[in-house]
Structure 1
Amino acid sequence: MRGTAAADRQSRPGRRALVAADLSMLRGPVSGVVVLPNRLVWAPAPAGRFDLDDPFDRLRVYEIVLREAVHEAELRRWLNGAVLVEVWPHLYLPRGVRQAWEAIHPQLAVVPAR
């Protein structure tokens, strides 16, 4: 997988949205407790601890990683392609992140909210 930095799409001012080139390469955890590094969660422990079996925590992990990742390895480590497709319509993301991912993966744009 080669991550793509969308030049015209920003995750926040000054940071380009990073997009995985292939969703099948996203093989992160699908359940259990994960602890995101401080580079992704800018708060002291236990702020970076999330239970992926909790729907709210799962959404938060995906929102954080999609917004803050700057290395493709971070996308591969923390995201799962099948889960991303499932939660996509429920994620609260900056417009630039959503547009960048949907431009590379148009199937995300047509996933109906449940």
Structure 2
Amino acid sequence: MDPIRSVHSSRTLYYARPGRPAVVVADLAQLRGPTSGVVELPHRLFWQPDRHVDLDAPGLLAWMYETVLTEAVQPDELRAWLHGPTLIRLWSQLYLPRGVRRAWEERHPVLHARDIAA
């Protein structure tokens, strides 16, 4: 089985951008990343010299989620940097590529329902 498709529940392959499939975890409970404090994103996810992010600063937690959701190529990156309940709470506020949003909402209907209610 294609390793990228194995992290999706659907037969449709969605893209974060051309040539980059969106990556989705099977279960939101797997997401146990940080929700506060200062973190340093890996260079693979964010290419700036200073990759420190203060998650307590207004808007930066959502910005980090957008970055990780768009740039992740492995489920482990999602597990390390995202937190399930926080993702659900922020979902309707996140600016994401269409393919990323569709992939996640298809796999996790709670996100789509939350988006409609917001």
Gapped regions of structure 2 (runs ≥ 5)? 1-5
Q: RMSD of aligned C-alpha atoms?
A: 1.6
Identity of aligned residues (%): 52
Match of 2:49, as an amino acid? P
Indicate yes or no: 2:32 matched with 1:40. Answer: no
Tell me how far apart the structure 2 counterparts of residues 55 and 85 of structure 1 sit (CA, whole Å).
18
Tell me how far apart the structure 2 counterparts of residues 71 and 83 of structure 1 sit (CA, whole Å).
20
* Equivalent of 1:4 in 8, 12, 25: 8
Tell me how far apart the structure 2 counterparts of residues 52 and 21 of structure 1 sit (CA, whole Å).
25
CA contact (8 A) 2:8 2:103 kept: no
TM norm structure 2 = 0.87
CA contact (8 A) 1:17 1:67 kept: yes
4+ residue runs over 6 A deviation? none
Indicate yes or no: 2:83 matched with 1:80. Answer: yes
Gapped regions of structure 1 (runs ≥ 5)? none
Indicate yes or no: 2:97 matched with 1:110. Answer: no
TM norm structure 1 = 0.89
Question: Which is richer in strand?
Answer: 1
